[in-house]
Amino acid sequence: MSENVIPAPEVHTIPTAGGGTFPVRRVYCIGRNFAAHAVEMGHDPDREPPFFFQKNPDNLDASGEFPYPPHSTDVHHEIELLVGLKSGGTNIPLDQALDHVWGYGVSLDMTRRDLQGQAKKMGRPWEIGKAFERSGPVGPLIPASDIGHPDQGSVTLLVNGDVRQEGDLNQMIWKVPEMISYLSEYFELKAGDVIMAGTPSGVNAIERGDTMEATIEGVGVLTVKVV
Ligand code: MN
């Protein structure tokens, strides 16, 4: 029997509404999944094939605080539906995709927009803009057995009480079953994988001391202080 030569890293977990924890395996994030957001970022809103990037499991953070990250002066909020999978597979048919969902939550895809912009311009990967420490504030995952599979409902982000982002889950270009099915054609999905489902328009910069209040109707409210 072989032994680890270094201490095994902990499996990262996020809280669930019932008081349990959800172990996170991978974090897939879709880009430009709301037409109005695609337009504000300078892109065509037409339905082209979806694309994904990843954050690291331990970037997800349920502390309620977001430490302003280093090497950026333009950090943006992106409110997103979080989808947690209880099972997976490859080539999952569309009509079976939702059977793999354990639950849903409210999350923020925090972005060092200046570094992401430089990376885009140079044809480089996005991790430096997207996958930094505590870049994914999350609220508790709520089981689908309690709330069903939300496919409509308002998505609202306030900063210090002012509305910054507003949309509706029904405006998502790629729906949750489509994202699961598509991802499973390219990757083997497994229990613990989560998907951040894209953001409506209105992304903007935050500053230290700001309070972000992210609400997805039918899912929950996530309040995060920028420190
Ligand atoms: Mn995003």
CATH of residue 131's domain is 3.90.850.10
Residue 6 CA to ligand 1 centre (angstroms): 34
CA–centroid distance, residue 1 to ligand 1 (Å): 43
- Cα of 95 vs centre of ligand 1, distance in Å, is 25
Say if 7 falls within a structural domain.
no
Q: 42 C-alpha to center of ligand 1: Å?
A: 15
Domain-embedded: residue 193:
yes
Is residue 183, in this structure, part of any structural domain at all?
A: yes
Residue 121: partners with Cβ closer than 8 Å, 6 or more residues away: none
Tell me how far the alpha carbon of residue 201 lies from the centroid of ligand 1, in angstroms.
10
Q: Quote the ligand 1 centre to 7 CA distance (angstroms).
A: 33
Q: Is residue 161 part of a domain?
A: yes
- Residue 198 within any structural domain of the chain: yes
Under DSSP, is residue 189 helix (H, G, I), strand (E, B) or coil?
A: strand
Give a yes or no: residue 6 inside a domain. Answer: no
- C-alpha to C-alpha distances, 118 to 68, 209, 216, nearest whole angstrom: 19, 26, 31
For ligand 1, the distance from its centroid to the CA atom of residue 172, given in whole angstroms, is 12
Number of domains present in the structure of the chain: 1
Residue 45, domain member (yes or no):
yes
Q: How far is the CA of 161 from the centre of ligand 1 (A)?
A: 22
pLDDT by residue, tens only, the chain of 227 residues: 799 999 999 999 999 999 999 999 999 999 999 988 888 988 887 778 999 999 999 999 999 999 999 999 999 999 999 999 999 999 999 999 999 999 999 999 999 999 999 999 999 999 999 999 999 999 999 999 999 999 999 999 999 999 999 999 999 999 999 999 999 999 999 999 999 999 999 999 999 999 999 999 999 999 999 99
What distance in angstroms lies between residue 114's CA and the mean position of ligand 1's atoms? Answer: 15
Q: Domain containing 17: what range?
A: 13-226
pTM of this prediction?
0.97
